[in-house]
Amino acid sequence: MRLSGKTALVTGAAGGIGCATACCFAAEGALVILSDCNHAGSLEVQDTIIKKGGKAAVIVADVTRESEVVRLFSETESSFPALDVLVNIAGGDHEPVADIESIDYDRMSKNLDLNLKSTILCCREACRIMKPQGYGRIVNMSSMVYRGSPGQFSYSAAKGGVFSFTRSLALAMGRYKITVNALAPALVDVPVFEKVLGSERWKAMAEEAAERYPLQRIATPDDVAKAALFLASDDAEFITGQILEISGGARL
């Protein structure tokens, strides 16, 4: 078990990738703190983990609100003996637009708040706990769009910002034995796509992407969870400031 005795906080834990990551970490022996703004969804993930013999707790929080992030980490600090791992997964694209003229200020702000500012805030609070421990593993969620994506202007800027921030934090935290890395998945098969796009549009989009990727399929949530597990584990103890592309070879 690669996370035996560790406490791991996963944000976005009720979502497709968050759920897979939380379940994978619990199966590897971690006590997982599931955080999401979706309470019912978080309880379902907790139930799944506990039924399989794992350990999980739920702390609901909206990571776009500073006061909620502060509360999330102070509850974590007072309820658990340590915070060994943080995986910042909460996120999403709220402004897919075809052209730059269509950018809407509020949607752009939402993308930056949800994907970038929330990551910085959660890392700030986690480092406050991890620094005195002299140990920590932080895994942030970027995306392959960090390389640029026409039509995803503010989302790609936010995910690119996550990568730059990850490197800056890695430079600052190395001396405390805290590693900070980022994940960059290409298209992942999560339920939210079918819900938003409808099954026909989603199927066409997934097939088109699979044809372009050298490995001829899109990612599963488990592909991402396994990469998160590697970076969260002591197998990656000398790796920091990196972005790990989980892309089936796309955009090489």
Ligand X SMILES: NC(=O)c1ccc[n+]([C@@H]2O[C@H](COP(=O)([O-])OP(=O)(O)OC[C@H]3O[C@@H](n4cnc5c(N)ncnc54)[C@H](O)[C@@H]3O)[C@@H](O)[C@H]2O)c1
In the complex, the residues that contact ligand X under the rule CB under 6 A are 12, 14-18, 36-38, 41, 62-64, 89-92, 114, 141, 143, 185, 187-188, 190, 192
| Comparison of 62 and 75: residue with beta carbon closer to ligand X | 62
Rounded to a whole number of angstroms, the minimum distance from the CB of residue 42 to ligand X is: 8
Tell me which of 135, 146, 155, 213 is the catalytic residue.
Answer: 155
Tokens encoding 83: 């915070």
Distance (Å, rounded) from C-alpha 52 to C-alpha 165? 36
Rounded to a whole number of angstroms, the minimum distance from the CB of residue 207 to ligand X is: 15
Q: What backbone torsions phi and psi does residue 33 show, to the nearest 5 degrees?
A: -95, 115
Q: Nearest Cα to 100, choosing from 145, 147, 165, 157?
A: 157
CA–chain centroid gap for 225, Å, is: 9
| Comparison of 109 and 133: residue with beta carbon closer to ligand X | 109
| Comparison of 64 and 181: residue with beta carbon closer to ligand X | 64
Tokens encoding 37: 């703004």
C-alpha distance across the termini of the chain, in Å = 33
Rounded to a whole number of angstroms, the minimum distance from the CB of residue 126 to ligand X is: 15
| Contact in structure between 218 and 111 (CB atoms under 8 Å) | no
Q: What backbone torsions phi and psi does residue 250 show, to the nearest 5 degrees?
A: -65, 145
Rounded to a whole number of angstroms, the minimum distance from the CB of residue 36 to ligand X is: 5
| Comparison of 87 and 135: residue with beta carbon closer to ligand X | 87
Please give the residue whose beta carbon sits closest to ligand X in the complex: 15
Tokens encoding 244: 């790990």
Tell me if residue 155 is catalytic.
Answer: yes
Q: Which residues participate in catalysis according to the annotation?
A: 155
